[in-house]
């Protein structure tokens, strides 16, 4: 059984700036962390990358935090 940290309300704020997310998480995150930030499963993150809602980083293994921030706004 996996345990994930409880999301803080600041993670859910649509007004949270792109720079704020980058300062908190860095330029890119793994797909599990991307799912945590977005409030979705890791498999949904794969679908979001495939349809262009968020962008994979240059190596394809991580997700751009800036694209997550843009999606959340």
pLDDT of residue 9: 45
Q: Residue 60: left if φ>0, alpha if ψ -120 to 50, beta else—which one?
A: left
pLDDT of residue 59: 87
What CA–CA distance (Å, rounded) separates 26 from 39? Answer: 18
pLDDT digit string, tens, across residues 20-73: 999 999 999 999 999 999 999 999 999 999 999 999 998 899 999 999 999 999
Phi, psi angles (nearest 5°) of residue 33:
-65, -40
**Helix (H/G/I), strand (E/B), else coil: 5:** coil
């Amino acid at each position: 059984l996996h345990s994930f940290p409880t999301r803080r309300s600041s993670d859910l704020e649509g007004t949270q700036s792109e720079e704020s997310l980058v300062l908190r998480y860095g330029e890119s995150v793994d797909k599990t962390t991307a799912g945590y930030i977005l409030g979705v499963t890791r498999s949904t993150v794969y679908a979001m990358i495939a349809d262009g809602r968020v962008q994979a980083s240059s190596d394809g293994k991580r997700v751009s935090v800036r694209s997550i921030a843009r999606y959340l706004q």
